[in-house]
Structure 1
Amino acid sequence: MGNERHSTNYPGVFYRIRRRLGGPGDEKVFYVVYKRNEKLIETQVGRQYRDDMTPARAASIRGQLIEGKRLTNAEERAAAQQKTWTITAIWEEYRGHLPTNRNTSDDNRFRKYIETGLGTKKPAELAPLDIDRLRINLLKIRSPQTVKHIISLIKRICNFGQNKGLCQGLSFKPQMPEVDNKVTEDLTPDELARLLAAIDADENKLVAAMMKLALVTGMRRGELFRLQWQHIDFNRCFIRIVTPKGGKEQSIPLNDAARDLLKNMGRSSEYVFPGEGGAQRVSAQKASKRIRARAGLPKSFRPFHGLRHVFASMLASSGQVDLYVLQRLLTHKSPVMTQRYAHLRDDALRQGADIAAGIIATGGQEKKGTA
């Protein structure tokens, strides 16, 4: 490792190899070099895994630094000492450190549900009653899972401010709503056929291909958004999941259906399913909702999450895949999440046992008749 610089294909962008934070092995730490007022400046812009940093993102940040649209780390620390760090001020700082896809969803939550009531307060000024009122009011109009995401965002904002030395943290642990995560979204054969027909007929072929890949691999929406061509090993037939929800890098098999689908796709970006300008995609909501409506599925069916459940349900109900293998395919961190599919496997095993018993019983009767 050491202090050795490694060049990239982008001018003024290089990286050094450092020990990975929060995981095994090493990672690239990206730096940029540029001139301001005839002075050469070098600054770190992010880490490969923790910040989801790439040479392209680093080059974009370098451009912002050159144009004066962004501060260096040292300048940010100096400015922090002069600023009143309210929830809104900390959020504006924190959102710049988020991956693009998470930034968008969190920004919507903050603007809709947090900014108006709590934005002008400092984290140390928040009381348990503030969070209790927010939780109770939101549960009247939003699901427990959505409310949990909103309160978790408040916690992350406050923790970020405390970790960066901008403010004192929360003096209490916010109460979270109870969430039932055992919902499975099965489709009948007819519903699945209608969904596949709607996917094939949709004008957005990129989102259509992404939904098909979700169905045949069980990949999460965020994993599909982040998927790059370099993560796919066509020779060894594996897909590398760089930042799975479970917290560490994993791989899943590249099955024949997924391989054929990907082989027939064009490559216009480093991302398999790029967004605007070839950058990482941040949404597929418009097309996926349109496909769901054309298939005649209920609004409660979450297109990508639902396709992942359909994938898991089909495997579990086949009776040919045990729960450990299913856990590995779904990249579940804990077997508890996979256990929701246990009843499907049990049903398949019972059906198999009944068939075997029927064959044996029939054979016994035939032998009696021919004796």
Structure 2
Amino acid sequence: ADMLREQGRERFLTAGETHRLFLALDAEPSRTAATCIALLALTGARRSEALNMRWEDVDIPRRLWQVPRAKSGRRRHIPLSDAAVAVLLSLPRPPGCPWVFPGADPARPLEGVRKCWDRVKARAGLARDLRLHDLRHSFASTLVNHGRPIYEVAEILGHSQISTTRRYSHFQNDRLVDAANIAGRLAAPFLTAAE
């Protein structure tokens, strides 16, 4: 029953939904929360990792974000794409504020993005039950569907078990049809003879 429930909960954004999400984030007045959500979509990071992100953990020249204490208890490294770097460079950096996403009190990090997430989902016409964590699933699926090896995706997501990454990644059906067609080509002589 647990397996069925888990499979039923999988949710991945299509390319069109992702485009609408970023348009909605661009129109969102709450810039700190919107930028935090954008970074989640662009890195596959966990919400807690982004909310507790400090400037000292970001190395823009090396395009690297070091999460000091990941869920595994170990330090992990998240590569920063061109888009993620652009998002980070767009952020104001108040003097003396260590947080990438400061809260209303700059001495503390942003507490959460739930209200912003609900507004953005509505504006983008996305399913109401879409969770912030589904951005992590979508990130993994995008990489896998563009041919990146599961081991690379596991490393980026900070998974110690490949089986966890497999659950996160979801092949688009057209990729699976392309894969099946490789075997189907072997039947070409049979299909030609049958015509």
TM class by smaller structure: 0.7 to 0.9
1:289 matches 2:115:
no
> Which of the pair is proportionally richer in strand?
1
Over 3 Å counting, the alpha-carbon distance change for 1:264 and 1:198 in structure 2 is same
Trace 1:201-220 onto structure 2 (pairs within 5 A). Answer: 201-220=27-46
1:247 is matched with 73
Q: Provide the rounded CA distance (Å) in 2 between the counterparts of 1:276 and 1:353.
A: 53
Structure 2 unaligned runs (5+)?
Answer: 189-195
1:184 matches 2:13:
no
Which aligned segments of 4 or more residues in structure 1 are displaced greater than 6 angstroms? 355-358
* Structure possessing the higher radius of gyration over alpha carbons: 1
2:99 is matched with 271
Structure 1 residue 336: deviation in Å? 1.8
Q: Provide the rounded CA distance (Å) in 2 between the counterparts of 1:241 and 1:346.
A: 34
* 1:330 counterpart (116, 134, 157): 157
1:235 matches 2:64:
no
Comparing both chains, which one has the higher relative contact order based on Cα–Cα distances under 8 Å and sequence gaps of 6 or more?
Answer: 2
Q: Secondary structure at the match of 1:291?
A: helix
Q: Provide the rounded CA distance (Å) in 2 between the counterparts of 1:346 and 1:191.
A: 17
Q: Provide the rounded CA distance (Å) in 1 between the counterparts of 2:103 and 2:140.
A: 27
1:258 is matched with 84
Q: Secondary structure at the match of 2:65?
A: strand
Over 3 Å counting, the alpha-carbon distance change for 1:346 and 1:198 in structure 2 is closer
Over 3 Å counting, the alpha-carbon distance change for 1:237 and 1:189 in structure 2 is closer
Letter matched to residue 184 of structure 1: E
Q: Provide the rounded CA distance (Å) in 1 between the counterparts of 2:16 and 2:174.
A: 21
Trace 1:105-144 onto structure 2 (pairs within 5 A). Answer: none
Q: Provide the rounded CA distance (Å) in 1 between the counterparts of 2:14 and 2:172.
A: 17
Trace 1:343-358 onto structure 2 (pairs within 5 A). Answer: 344=171, 348=175, 351=178, 354=181
Structure 1 residue 327: deviation in Å? 0.6
Task: Determine if contact 2:52/2:109 at 8 Å carries over to the other structure.
Answer: yes
1:30 is matched with none
Structure 1 residue 204: deviation in Å? 0.7
Q: Provide the rounded CA distance (Å) in 1 between the counterparts of 2:86 and 2:93.
A: 14
Structure 1 residue 239: deviation in Å? 0.5
Letter matched to residue 145 of structure 2: S
2:138 is matched with 310
Q: Secondary structure at the match of 2:133?
A: helix
Q: Provide the rounded CA distance (Å) in 2 between the counterparts of 1:356 and 1:236.
A: 42
Structure 1 residue 338: deviation in Å? 0.7
Q: Provide the rounded CA distance (Å) in 2 between the counterparts of 1:307 and 1:335.
A: 19
Over 3 Å counting, the alpha-carbon distance change for 1:270 and 1:294 in structure 2 is same
- 1:228-278 superposed Cα distances (whole Å, 9 cap, x missing partner): 000001122210012211221111112211111111211122100111211
Trace 1:354-365 onto structure 2 (pairs within 5 A). Answer: 354=181
Per the normalisation by structure 1, the TM-score is: 0.45
Task: Determine if contact 1:318/1:348 at 8 Å carries over to the other structure.
Answer: no
Q: Secondary structure at the match of 1:276?
A: coil
- 1:192-251 superposed Cα distances (whole Å, 9 cap, x missing partner): 222121111010111111111111110111000010000001122210012211221111
Q: Secondary structure at the match of 1:344?
A: coil
Identity of matched residues, %: 34
1:280 matches 2:114:
no
Structure 1 unaligned runs (5+)?
Answer: 1-176, 362-371
Structure 1 residue 293: deviation in Å? 1.3
Q: Secondary structure at the match of 2:127?
A: coil
1:195 matches 2:21:
yes
Q: Provide the rounded CA distance (Å) in 2 between the counterparts of 1:265 and 1:354.
A: 46
Over 3 Å counting, the alpha-carbon distance change for 1:343 and 1:237 in structure 2 is closer
What is the CA RMSD across the aligned residues, in angstroms? 2.6
